Amino acid sequence: MTGALLKIEGLTKAYPGVVANDGVGFEVAPGEVHALLGENGAGKSTLVKMIYGLVKPDAGAMTFEGAPYAPAEPRAARAAGVAMVFQHFSLFEALTVAENVALGMENPPPMRALAARIREISNAYGLPLDPARIVGDLSAGERQRVEIIRCLLQDPKLLIMDEPTSVLTPQEVEILFRTLRKLAAEGTAILYISHKLEEIRSLCDGATILRGGKVVGSCLPREKSARELAEMMVGGEFAATTRAQRKHGATILEVANLSLAPMSQFGPALKAVTFSLSAGEVLGIGGVAGNGQEELLATLSGERPSGIGTVSLHGQDISDLGPNDRRRLGLLAAPEERLGHAAVPNLSLTENAILTGTVRRPLTRNGFLNIGAAKRFAEEIILGFDVRTPGPQVAARALSGGNLQKFVIGREVLQAPEVLVVNQPTWGVDAAAAAAIRQSLLDLAAKGAAVIVISQDLDELMEISDRFCALNEGRLSAPRRTEGLSMEEIGLMLGGAHGMQEVAAR
């Protein structure tokens, strides 16, 4: 095909023990929105890092605008006209928007001129942004705008976006898509990385599907159903979770008027969070991470004390109890951060089983560790939750994200909790493992436990929760029954577009 902006042939990159990319090839035309679709670990990130000059390929060739292209570093990629918006923002919270943009430029113009440019570009693309605002005060969607504006100032020919919608509300996603379509109409090619199928179907003109480092197919996403795309991505049919009819029992957990001061200057606070939870119920708490999710988990698990009378279990006030006392009463938790919070990276799985398991399992005798019992508990988790690992002696950090997450969830589920609180249970986990984790949470609820699932993944919450509420800027919306709730309504519960205006974008 002639006229391709970026052409990739036979790109290969191997890391010790894993071939991240194996002979990958595809083309992107000017003005095309091209999706890179694949599960976590399929090699999407490595591929775009090679295009952006962050990683050097072992073999293969790239052509950009008809000329050989082999960027040695991101600076060379930017000079050629390639820009990238990363999944994790690299912004300084204490600086203004304009200062942050200037820091990323080779020769920043005077601040006043730069501010004017930012205002001009951001309005032109329907992403209004005040250059004088402090980044720490911005919402996730607005921070992403800063990153996008930073790229647009370079006038790129190819814009790479890595999972851009994972931190956005449905309304914010709509605004972003309008901007991307406008850019594409002006001839900018966009390489769009995602595993969200509906988004890709609505936005992209072409798609390349990666699995295990290889291209397994390409298609016109509009002509395929989400299910077909998913099966191409996963490589086979995958089991949908089954949910048994559950009877909700008596109220177990009550949280009343729970407020918490922020831990840092830009950290979120909790503001009068109130809800209750019945036996056998799954409560989904949606919202972009960083709006108080971690803080809510910490106050429920007992890591952070909260005011008297704010958290009660079975009618007993447990606000001043620590994590182990709460475990004794049946309230268990699995934090979001697997390495360093839910598990200790350098300790073995046996030792990580001891981490939270001593209260409800006989893993100690008079304070002395019963290593044999701990090992058996770890093996039970490994077996029951299909954790792929040579054995319980392996260090936690040697496990892949999905396997470690299965271990962490399994550790808590097998302790037969009465209430289980999980934060982002399937974040960075492959589809098969995510389905297994969701099923285990549903099974737990079917046995009569109450489950709180805090997640950014709205599809996940719709799939497993009985009631849904949103945590936004530390405020929890009133829970509503999930059945019959539309995406539009959910988006509004999540704070809509966070008051971001959209002008000149139509």
Partner 1 sequence: MITLVKRPTPSRGWAFATPVLAVIATMIAGGALFAALGKDPIAAIKVIFWDPLLGPNAAYFRGQLLVKAGPLILIASGLAVGFRAGIWNIGAEGQYIMGALAGASVALAAYPAESHLLFPAMVIAGALGGWLWGMIPAVLKVFFGTSEILVSLMLVYVAQNFLAYAAFGPLKNPEGFGFPGSRNLQQYASAHNPELIAGTGMHWGVVAAFLAVIAIYVLMQRHILGFRIRVAGEAPRAARFAGVLPARLVMFCLGLSGALAGLAGLFEVAGPNGQITDSFNAGYGFTAIIVAFLGRLNALGILLAGLLMALTYIGGDMAQLMLGLPTAAIQVFQGMLLFFLLGFDLLTHYRFRLGRARA
Binding test (CB under 8 A) with partner 1, winner from 74, 323, 428, 448? 323
Full strand arrangement of the beta sheet holding 59-64: 18-28, 6-15, 59-64, 67-68
- Of 34-42, 223-231, 344-352, 420-428: span binding partner 1 (CB under 8 A): 344-352
369 contributes a contact to partner 1 by CB under 8 A: yes
| Interacting residue with partner 1 among 164, 287, 302, 330 (CB under 8 A) | 302
Report the SS3 class of residue 471: strand
User: CB-wise, 11 or 343, nearer to partner 1?
Assistant: 343
What value, to the nearest 5°, has the Cα angle with vertex 184 and ends 22 and 147? 75
Q: For 53, how many CA atoms within 13 A lie in the half-sphere containing its CB?
A: 17
Q: Is 134 in the site for partner 1 (CB under 8 A)?
A: no
| 372 part of the interface to partner 1, by CB under 8 A | no
Q: Is 12 in the site for partner 1 (CB under 8 A)?
A: no
**In this chain, which of 18, 56, 120, 504 binds partner 1, going by CB under 8 A?**
56
Element at 452 (helix H, strand E) = strand 450-454
How far is the C-alpha of 304 from the C-alpha of 312, rounded, in Å? Answer: 15
Q: Is 385 helix (H, G, I), strand (E, B) or coil?
A: coil
216 binds partner 1 (CB under 8 A): no
* CA–CA–CA angle 178, 181, 186 (5° rounding): 130
Dist. CA 282–CA 441, nearest whole Å: 8
Pick one of 358, 403, 440, 465: the residue that binds partner 1 (CB under 8 A).
Answer: 358
Task: With contacts defined by CB under 8 A, name the span among 134-142, 301-309, 412-420, 459-467 that binds partner 1.
Answer: 301-309
3 binds partner 1 (CB under 8 A): no
Residue in 90, 64, 66 with CA at minimum distance from that of residue 78: 64
Token code pair at residue 345: 């990276």
User: What's the distance, CA 492 to chain centroid?
Assistant: 20
The reply to whether 340 sits near partner 1 by the rule CB under 8 A is yes
Positions in 59-88 near partner 1 (CB under 8 A): 72
Q: Is 187 in the site for partner 1 (CB under 8 A)?
A: no
- Beta strands (DSSP E) in 235-297 are 251-260, 270-278, 282-286
Report the residue from 202, 257, 324, 501 that binds partner 1 according to the rule CB under 8 A.
Answer: 324
CA gap 307, 318 in Å, rounded: 10
Closest CB to partner 1 among residues 111, 395:
395
Contact 183/191 with Cβ under 8 angstroms? no
Residue 356 contacts partner 1 per CB under 8 A: yes
- How many other CB atoms are found less than 10 A from the CB of residue 254? 17
- Minimum Å gap between C-beta 4 and partner 1 is 25
Alpha-carbon gap, residue 92 to 101, rounded angstroms: 10
Buried b (16+ CB within 10 A) or exposed e, 101-127: bbebeeeeeeeeebbebbbebbeebbb
Is position 344 an interface residue for partner 1 (rule: CB under 8 A)?
yes
List the interface residues with partner 1, window 393-422 (CB under 8 A): 394-395, 397-398
Which residue has tokens 């030792």? Answer: 351
User: Which of the stretches 94-102, 141-149, 165-173, 317-325 binds partner 1 when contact is defined by CB under 8 A?
Assistant: 317-325
Instruction: Identify which of residues 348 and 455 has a Cβ nearer to partner 1 in the complex.
Output: 348
Span of 90-98, 208-216, 254-262, 346-354 interacting with partner 1 by CB under 8 A: 346-354
Contact call for residue 345 and partner 1 (CB under 8 A): yes
Which of the ranges 5-13, 18-26, 392-400, 471-479 carries the binding residues for partner 1, by CB under 8 A? 392-400
Of 257-265, 274-282, 320-328, 379-387, which segment contacts partner 1 by CB under 8 A?
Answer: 320-328
Phi, psi of 77 (to 5 degrees): -65, -45
Q: Is 16 in the site for partner 1 (CB under 8 A)?
A: yes
- Of 452, 462, 424, which is closest to residue 254 (Cα–Cα)? 452
Chain residues in the site for partner 1 (CB under 8 A): 16, 56, 72, 301-303, 322-325, 327, 333, 335, 337, 339-347, 351, 354-356, 358-359, 364, 367-369, 371, 394-395, 397-398
